[in-house]
Amino acid sequence: MYWWWPGIEGSGDPIHLPAVLVIGNGDLKEAQTVVSRRLVEEGLTVAWVDAPESWCDVPSELASVDAQPSLGIVISLNSPISFKSCDVSPDVAAQNVVEALQRFEADHSAIATGLSGEADPVVAVLQKLGVRVVDPSSMLADVDEHVDCLWWDDCLPDENGVGYVIVRDANGLTLAGQQRVARMIVAGIQ
């Protein structure tokens, strides 16, 4: 009964004192259930906030959050709209995000990127500023592409009997893709 673990562990009130605060949109928001379950399986409570579209809006979103996460904050915005809709340079946007993160006591914050194909220049600057970046792109693939199984995957056999999964379909990340993202996030914030 893994869902009892945060209560047994004393991991905090999921609304005001979650272990992890996730601010995400797009593919990460679609994976909310899977990501939440992986965090809970690790004994962590989690709160979610819908992310703004632009990196320029992240600092005000963080300022309006009532929760005080004890372990970390995960932020993921859809690229390329996340930086193209920002009216300042990637350096300024990243510095503003770092300053906004500093109001929290959580010291294992991470930026999740690589969920879409286009690189995000704000994420590159955040990484240079010392913010941890979780990039599961090496574990993902293009739409309907066969990917080798990992130990947790529910694999399908190909014509040779070799197992594979499809991590992305026409609708976005599949359950297998969401699992890979969730596992990378959990590893990245611990």
What whole-number distance in Å separates Cα of residue 44 and Cα of residue 7? 9
Residue-level pLDDT at 97: 97
Instruction: Please state the pTM of the whole predicted model.
Output: 0.88
pLDDT value of position 57: 96
Residue extents of the structural domains in the chain = 2-136+174-189
Q: What is the full per-residue pLDDT of the chain (190 aa) written as tens digits?
A: 555 555 555 556 667 789 999 999 989 999 999 999 999 999 899 999 999 999 999 999 999 999 999 999 999 998 888 888 889 999 999 999 999 999 998 889 999 998 877 789 999 999 999 999 999 999 999 999 999 999 999 999 999 999 999 999 999 999 999 999 999 999 999 8
CATH topology of domain 2-136+174-189: Rossmann fold (3.40.50)
